[in-house]
Amino acid sequence: MAESRPRARTRSHIGVHAVLIPASLVMIAPFVWQLITSLQTLSTATRVPPSLLPAGHWDNYGKVFGLLPFGEQFLNTALMAAGRTAGQILLCPLAAYAFARLRFPGRQPLFGLFLCVLMVPPQLFIIPQYEIMSSLGWLNSLQALIVPGMFSAFGVFLLRQFFLGLPPELEEAARLDGAGPWRIYWSIMLPLARPGVIALSVLALLWSWNDLFWPLVVNTDPEKMTLSAGLATLQGQFQTDYPVLMAGSLLASLPVIAVFALLQRQFIQGIAHTGVKG
């Protein structure tokens, strides 16, 4: 009996890896195709059947810097992602803790309104947000990219579930020691919610970095655009230089891939520890 358990465990591991390895190859395939295409000429990239061998045209990466103000757009993207992420890390845990732990009139209906926001397509907010940015004189500015994305209803929901999973005895012990709500939040609950906050920060960074529609609408000056909006301008009406476009897309993807690779353990831990209580 004791010997059969390791064998069964080994078989289960083999079965899991037999599923995960092909799935990982499927997920990596678009990045490999992107790299191969970025090293080809336009005629090779559009040939049928397609060529699976890179041609070594590294000059496509140089063309990206010639067609776009890549440095300015990279800086705009980095500042937008950092500003939105910092805003969500600051504001979302506060709102989530209030909904999870504090008792006040109208808490449940108000949280229901937050959930309703998640059900509304974000494209419906484009026109009123644009009118607000225009009335403030923020068009073609960095604050127009950052401010509308500094709060997230999903982030509040995610961290609320995390706070609900923490033991209430910690708060009771802190109250007996004379700690107030702010001290309990800052010194006890927020440090315990660190995995959830890291998970939210990674998600906010990825969403902000890849955001296309809002930056493309609110900033039309090429030097005020983000990388996603700038790369969208490389698509022509009649012809698109796909190798150059793939080269720019690969350069734009490298920073977020590096961030996720560094924080993947904390990200998975934060998602795994987010409870379903409530």
Q: What is each CA distance from 31 to 107, 169, 221, 254, in whole angstroms?
A: 45, 48, 30, 11
In terms of average pLDDT, the best of 108-112, 130-134, 240-244 is: 130-134
Residue 121 structure tokens:
């397509």
Structural domain boundaries in the chain: 59-272
pLDDT for 199 beyond 90: no
- Residue 40 · residue 54 · CB < 8 Å: yes
Assess whether pLDDT exceeds 70 at residue 13: yes
pLDDT in tens, 38-90: 999 888 888 888 777 777 789 999 999 999 999 999 999 999 999 999 999 99
207 pLDDT exceeds 60?
yes
List Cβ neighbours of 98 (8 Å cut-off, separation of 6 or more): 104, 107
Q: Is the pLDDT of residue 273 over 70?
A: no
Residues 125, 236 contacting (CB under 8 angstroms): no
- Report the alpha-carbon distance of residue 184 to residue 175 in Å, rounded: 8
Dihedral angle computed from the Cα positions of residues 160, 275, 207 and 137, in that order, rounded to the nearest 10 degrees: -10
pLDDT digits (tens, 9 = 90+) for 157-192: 999 988 998 888 888 888 888 888 899 999 999 998
CA atoms 140, 150, 209, 212: torsion sign:
negative
Q: Which superfamily is assigned to 59-272 in CATH?
A: MetI-like (1.10.3720.10)
Which pLDDT belongs to residue 86?
Answer: 96
Please give the distance of CA 67 from its chain centroid, rounded to a whole number. Answer: 27
Contact present, 266 and 195 (Cβ < 8 Å): yes
Give the global pTM: 0.84
pLDDT(134) > 80: yes
What's the confidence (pLDDT) of residue 143?
Answer: 95
Q: What is the mean pLDDT of residues 212-222?
A: 92
pLDDT in the model for residue 274: 55
In Å, the largest CA–CA distance within the chain is: 75
Q: Pick the residue with more confidence: 271 or 62?
A: 62
For the CA atoms of 126, 132, 136, 138, the dihedral, rounded to the nearest 10 degrees, stands at -10
277: confidence class by pLDDT, cuts 50, 70, 90: very low
Q: Please compute the mean of the pLDDT values over residues 206-218 and round it to a whole number.
A: 93
What's the mean pLDDT when you consider all of the chain? 87
